[in-house]
Structure 1
Amino acid sequence: MITQPAVGFYRRQSLWLLASACLLLLLFELTRLDYWISNAFYDAASRTFPLQNAWFLETVVHKWVKYALLTLAVGLGVQAWRTRGSERRFYLFLVAGMLLAPTVVSLLKAISDRPCPWGTLEYGGSLPHLPLWQSLPAGLKPGHCFPGGHASGGFGLLVFWFWGRQHSSRRAALLWSGALLLGLLMGWSQVARGAHFLSHNLWSAWVCWAVIVALHALCYGRKAVSLQASEATLPE
């Protein structure tokens, strides 16, 4: 049964995204928390990140996991064309969410000035680490390293919260938490390699969830969220 509280779902998500964006800005733009974390993986003597070329992180976590997620998206696409009506539409929504969220992150990276850790002056690179709202000085090549691209593949699975909510709030919460954990683990491997700061990955999660919620609103609007969804405990 479709109910009026569906409108409240999108309102609550908008407030949640606004609050979390403010928190991320406070934590990472007004402190050096990113550097305190990345310092644990940096060897000052050699001026390198020793795990930068670690086989497990570079091959298994960075490549194989990505391929597995693409395979899942293809499988869902095939399943969509085997179904009809609203079920097909929902499968296509899941595929679109998995692919669109990381795509938006990649587009943001393409226009970003912010460098990777290994490209900053503090870690042997040539670029300053500036606030998000400040552009690089003229003559410097942009870093194109914000938000975290690799982690966005895992965060794209946050779209499965909408599948889980059709069964129970508990299943929705577990799927959302599992997707968040996978994205964080994928992102953490990049932090260890010196490829991203922690904030890059947390902003990637923020962007992915914002895109997924917006996509759901576009595809379904008020008719998409049932009373059960509006009462789900996570991630509202």
Structure 2
Amino acid sequence: MQLFARQRFYWMNLGIPLLCAALVFLLFDMTQVDIAFSNLLFDPISQAFPLDHVRLFEQITHKWARIVPNWTAEIALIGGLLSLLWPRINSQKYPGLGGFLERTKVAPVLRFTTEHRRDFWFVVFAFAICTGVIHFLKAHTSVYCPIETTLYGGKLAHIEWYSNFQLFKEAGDGRCWPGGHASGGFTMLALYFVARRHQWRFAKAILWGSLWLGFIYGTTRVLQGWHYMSHTFWAGIFVWLACLLTALAFYGRARLDVPVLQKVNALGSTTPIQAAG
């Protein structure tokens, strides 16, 4: 039963994303679908993507949209740092300080951060690792954005990421693949793994909300000519894999798979299954 749960977990969380990666590669990278879609958004008369020149659209979808992942990362970092304080506050040795913290409602906040220390630091590390992965791929593929290429009035050649990939050195100055703005929305997937660990009832809502947020972030940049649609899908795939591996390192598979283990236990076992890790 535990073997079945393990296989199911890795199929759902690792196998499906890898399958999606293969489909995106075949349907987008090996065809002209990306270019055909961007052609619909490009005005050949003005030689521009009209939405790229709408300042309000840029402000809302590119500038303000960063607030959500940025604030999430900052709150997680603050929570992680605060979680280190409470164990070091000796209420018996400093009763005055302890009483002050209780009266000002600071003590419950510090206790909460201490209880969820691993969660706060997981979010911090997941965001950092996701950002690092995306930046690595950008630098080592050197893909230029559509608006920068000769296809849409630019001066640089259009190339596919796989034809210019360099593992051990930067491939050039291009920084368009995968979608960085989309990845900012997708990093909110880290909260899904926290919710899954604690079996929160809104875990699936967080999952779908994070996926939609990343998709919306990426699509707005596609409309402006700064990305192809496949760049958004690739960003989601890499961010998911980065969050998954980070969550496995922080929590272990069993803690993330508790609901599945309980279901398997209910179907065919009378011995409680303990989630280790």
TM-score for both structures, normalised by structure 1? 0.85
Is 1:105 the counterpart of 2:134? The answer is yes
2:215 is aligned with 1:216: no
Structure 1 residue 105 displacement after superposition = 0.9
Residue 188 of structure 1 is matched in structure 2 by 219
Specify which of 199, 206, 216 is matched with residue 167 of structure 1: 199
The answer to whether the 8 A contact 1:48-1:124 is kept is yes
* Residue 202, structure 1, aligned to residue 208, structure 2: no
1:97 and 1:91 mapped to 2: Cα distance? 10
- The one-letter code of the counterpart of 2:199 is H
> Relative CO higher for 1 or 2, CA cutoff 8 Å, sep ≥ 6?
1
- Select between 206-215 and 157-166 the one with higher mean Cα deviation: 157-166
- What amino acid is aligned across from residue 203 of structure 2 in structure 1? A
SS in 2 for 1:133: helix
The equivalent position to 2:122 in structure 1, one of 75, 80, 93, is: 93
**How has the CA–CA distance of structure 1 residues 84 and 55 changed in structure 2, closer, same or farther, with 3 Å as cutoff?**
closer
Partner-residue secondary structure (3-state), 2:78: helix
Task: Letter of the 1:208 partner, please give it.
Answer: V
Larger radius of gyration: 2
TM-score by length of 2: 0.73
Corresponding position of 2:144:
115
Counterpart amino acid of residue 74 in structure 1: E
Which amino acid in the other structure matches residue 192 of structure 1?
Answer: L
2:175 corresponds to which letter in structure 1?
H
Question: Quick check: 159-168 or 29-38, which moved more?
Answer: 159-168
Cα distance in structure 2, aligned partners of 1:231 and 1:51: 50
Residue 111 of structure 1 aligns to a residue whose secondary structure is helix
Cα deviation for residue 231 of structure 1 reads 8.2
User: Which has the higher mean CA deviation after the structures are superposed, 189-198 or 123-132?
Assistant: 123-132
Q: Distance in 1 between matches of 2:46 and 2:218?
A: 24
Q: Would the aligned equivalents of 2:61 and 2:217 in 1 still touch at CA under 8 Å?
A: yes
What are the Cα deviations for residues 173-225 of structure 1, in whole angstroms up to 9, with x where unaligned?
Answer: 21111011111111111011111111111100011001000111222224432
**Per-residue CA distance 1:42-83 (angstroms, 9 max, x = gap):** 110111112113222322221112133212221222233234
Q: Give the length in aligned residue pairs.
A: 226
Task: Give the stretch that moved more between structures: 206-215 or 25-34.
Answer: 25-34
Residues 78, 150 of structure 1: alpha-carbon distance in 2 compared, 3 angstrom cutoff: same
- Name structure 2 gaps, 5 residues minimum: 83-109, 166-170, 264-277
| Cα offset, 1:156, TM superposition | 0.1
Q: Percent identity?
A: 31
Name the residue aligned to 1:68: 68
> Quick check: 12-21 or 193-202, which moved more?
12-21
